[in-house]
């Protein structure tokens, strides 16, 4: 009986001890639960305050400038959540507000114009033309003709060559309108402006025409896609004409 009674007392003491611990655990759990609920409430209030602050101090402040770019985030909840998401993952460079405004004007304030696909423009066909030695060639007549010295000294090859078209069967000079044209002078003109001169002029005209044709084609294509206005197109063609070189373009 003594042994049995002693064992029962130990069990009772253990039960009491465990009950006390259980009571303490419950009390601690209740305290932690209350603390958790308090933190949840605090977070709810801070979230609410953040949403309100973000909406009034950021969205409303910049709504006029950036509303179009914020589609999908036009409510307090979605806007504040988007701010948090961007803060966590966005690593882009931070730009000045005026720079952002200019970008927004470009993207959102003017309705984008849909342009057709720009075809590939093969400029390789220009290279053989531009590399032609005719552009650098000094096109003059034969130097072993009596009249060559004067023509070349005065640099009037083109002027004299054009005047040849006005020499008819009579002896009247197209320049001074007097009878100064002899058969010998006509022969000298023909010898000076020989076949080589004519071929050079023809090649120059051919390459000029080919080059202008390609430039015009490219300009029309760019104008069609609204990438080049007519005034700039004419300027491009004008500068292309300068590229030919004054000496040879004058001949043409």
DSSP notation for 56-70 = IIIIHHHHHHHGGGG
Q: How confident is the model at residue 1 (pLDDT cuts 50, 70, 90)?
A: very low
pLDDT at 12 over 60: yes
Angle (CA) 86-91-92 rounded to 5° is 100
pLDDT at 208 over 80: yes
What pLDDT, in 10s, does the model give residues 126-138?
788 888 888 888 8
Residue-range domain boundaries for the chain: 2-109, 123-251
What pLDDT, in 10s, does the model give residues 164-187?
777 766 777 777 787 877 778 888
Burial class of residue 62 (count of CB atoms within 10 Å of its CB; 0-12, 13-18, 19+): middle
Give pTM, 2 decimals: 0.43
């Amino acid at each position: 009986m003594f042994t049995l009674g002693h064992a029962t007392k130990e069990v009772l003491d253990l039960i009491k001890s465990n009950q006390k611990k259980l009571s303490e655990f419950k009390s601690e759990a209740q305290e932690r639960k209350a603390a958790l609920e308090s933190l949840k409430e605090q977070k709810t209030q801070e979230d609410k305050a953040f949403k309100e602050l973000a909406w009034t101090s950021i969205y409303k402040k910049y709504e006029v400038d950036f509303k179009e770019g914020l589609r999908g985030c036009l409510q307090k909840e979605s806007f504040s959540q988007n701010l948090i998401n961007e803060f966590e993952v966005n690593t882009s460079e931070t730009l000045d507000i005026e720079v952002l405004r200019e970008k927004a004007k470009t993207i959102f304030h003017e309705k984008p114009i849909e342009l057709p696909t720009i075809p590939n423009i093969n400029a390789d066909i220009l290279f053989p033309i531009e590399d032609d030695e005719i552009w650098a060639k000094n096109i003059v007549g034969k130097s072993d003709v009596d009249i060559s010295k004067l023509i070349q000294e005065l640099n009037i090859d083109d002027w004299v060559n054009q005047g040849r078209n006005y020499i008819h069967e009579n002896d009247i000079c197209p320049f001074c309108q007097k009878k100064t044209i002899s058969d010998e002078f006509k022969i000298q003109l023909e010898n000076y402006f020989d076949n080589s001169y004519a071929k050079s002029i023809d090649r120059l005209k051919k390459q000029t025409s080919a080059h202008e044709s390609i430039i015009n084609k490219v300009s029309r294509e760019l104008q069609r896609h609204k990438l080049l206005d007519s005034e700039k197109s004419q300027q491009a063609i004008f500068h292309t004409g300068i590229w030919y070189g004054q000496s040879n373009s004058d001949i043409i």
